[in-house]
Structure 1
Amino acid sequence: MNTLESLWSTLAPDDKGLVAAIITHARDGRVLMLGYMNREALALTLDSGKVTFFSRSKQRLWQKGESSGNVLALESIRVDCDGDALVVAATPAGPTCHTGADSCFYKRLGISGEDLGTIVGEDDGPAPPRHATDPAVELLWSTILARKAGEGMTNAEGKSYVRSLLDKGIAKINAKIREEAEELAVALASESDEQVHKEAADLLFFALVGLAARDLEPAGVSAIVHERHGVSGIDEKASRGS
């Protein structure tokens, strides 16, 4: 019995052949959205690695992010005790909600007193999530932290480039940041698009190593970016003073 048949046989779909699929963030467990899957949607999810639903309103298969690009990369699936619901852990490529919020569950309801049943607040608005980072950046960051902790050395001699940079200290990291910044500037002026991307990736890598050296998090950078969002760059720069 293949994976699909084995999994589907444990489920108890409703009379329309659907099971509920609760999507959670693979990194922190936040609930992102609720959808429904039939057998074909589950098959496509397993085959493509991208979460796919059956749209009850459009009566067709629907891959999350098929138009927006904000796909959900499958990480794991769990089945509840009754077999009529799935918990799908996924890594989002962008905001999950169509409003631009990272989760569809951003409205908070009052549960007592005069606020009972009314919307009393929002955890996220239409803007992107405050501390969101690109999945590729998260992967790079987690690798840097692992190397800093002495884990996952990939060199044949058991050595790590990240570890060697951290051991040599801020002066060495700063030298690499300056070097890569200059190489990016040269690429922007006269080299191919591919080379520009490569040099930008190199600069990002050393910037993240610098954060790790200072025991700082990329989330702090994201917070500053979102804090400045909607503010004129000219006004923001002027507010810094001399």
Structure 2
Amino acid sequence: MDISQPTPTTLRFDPVTGLAPAVIQDADTGQVLMLGYVNEEAWARTQAEGRVTFFSRSKNRLWTKGETSGNFLAVISTHIDCDADTVLIRVIPAGPTCHRGTTSCFEQPQQLHAPVANIGFLAELERLVSERKQFPERTPDSYTVQLFQKGIAKIAQKVGEEAVETVIDAVGGQHETLKGEVADLLYHLVVLLVATGVSFNEVLAVLQERHRTPSTRHLTGR
């Protein structure tokens, strides 16, 4: 059996319904947001316009997600599965995806095992902090909003304080409290990045580039 078949590039639609399932995933966090269906026209429009359009089975028409709420799904990439009958669409959502106002249409999971933290949460945190900065009137008593109101110098000072506390706990072997201090440091770093207009993805891009490029510091004496 040949297991080196190329990835399909053309989506196949059900011969009876004319539809194909489309799984929508947040490109930043990896969270699955919803499941919809596309027909050939909806799929073509999604690719042409760069935002997700479904075929609504209940309305029996094309439906661009966000056409009423404004919560569009901007397409980052599309991935057709090995059978070419399902597509994964990675997106950046403009707001809550579910009509109930939640981030995802899927309920909170019933944990079969202890939950595992996902680094994608940092992207969710960055998005929330950005909303606090953009719409301070919504949560005027928020600690994050108050930090932004005090300005960049105060935010930078808090980063420094949390960094010192992190170092103290690390050197002192206080592993349990170290977790909390690192969490505080990461939070304040996210606030600092949002305040300065630098995205977490830009920082990750620098790390990735350094990982790809062998260090030459020993050649330059730095």
Higher relative contact order (CA 8 A, sep 6+): 2
TM-score, normalised on structure 2? Answer: 0.50
With normalisation by structure 1, the TM-score equals 0.46
